């Protein structure tokens, strides 16, 4: 099992908690521990992306935003990536188009500065807006 060390910040403050994420690929599972919140859980959805979304929603219930590539407003996996279930790859969604280029690919569990992280709802709205801009 690979271990990733991430942080989750309070949405409008400086406070943060450390988040330890263990990654299992078959079945796609995230094993999560957040000692600062006395929280542990396993997320075993059909894809690692869906597991990450579930984790993010739970942290948002505590008032925190997880700071990883998969939490960026403009990051979304392609349909093919989702079909692969255990992949951690996703693409940076440029204005109006999902450019499927290697340079735009990110690991959803790599850390990012807190300024780049968004809530699940903010991310979905950004992706919807960018998709509609390119397809209207």
Average pLDDT over residues 44-71: 96
Flag whether pLDDT at 134 surpasses 60. Answer: no
Query: What is the spatial distance between Cα 27 and Cα 25, in angstroms, rounded to a whole number?
Result: 5
Average pLDDT over residues 55-79: 95
Using one digit for the tens of pLDDT, what is the confidence trace for 92-111?
Answer: 887 655 555 566 899 999 99
Q: Which residue has the higher pLDDT, 46 or 84?
A: 46
Query: What is the spatial distance between Cα 75 and Cα 12, in angstroms, rounded to a whole number?
Result: 22
- pLDDT for position 12: 79
Percent of the chain that is helix, strand, coil (3-state, to 5): 35, 35, 30
- pLDDT for position 45: 93
Query: What is the spatial distance between Cα 62 and Cα 17, in angstroms, rounded to a whole number?
Result: 11
- Domain spans of the chain, in order of start: 2-134
Using one digit for the tens of pLDDT, what is the confidence trace for 110-126?
Answer: 999 999 999 999 999 99
- pLDDT for position 71: 98
CB 51 within 8 A of CB 29: yes
Q: Any residues with CB less than 8 A from the CB of 132 and at least 6 apart, and which?
A: none
Token pair 């979905």 is found at 124
């Amino acid at each position: 099992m690979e271990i990733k060390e991430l942080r989750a910040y309070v949405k409008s403050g400086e406070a943060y908690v450390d988040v330890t994420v263990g990654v299992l690929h078959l079945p796609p599972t995230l094993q999560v521990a957040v000692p600062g919140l006395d929280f542990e859980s396993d997320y075993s959805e059909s894809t690692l992306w869906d597991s990450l979304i579930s984790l993010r929603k739970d942290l948002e219930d505590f008032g925190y935003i997880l700071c990883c590539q998969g939490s960026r407003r403009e990051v979304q996996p392609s349909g093919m990536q989702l079909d692969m279930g255990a992949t951690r790859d996703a693409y940076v969604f440029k204005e109006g188009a999902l450019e499927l280029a290697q340079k735009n690919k990110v690991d959803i569990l790599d850390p990012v500065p807190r300024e780049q992280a968004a809530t699940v709802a903010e991310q979905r709205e950004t992706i919807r807006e960018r998709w509609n801009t390119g397809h209207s």
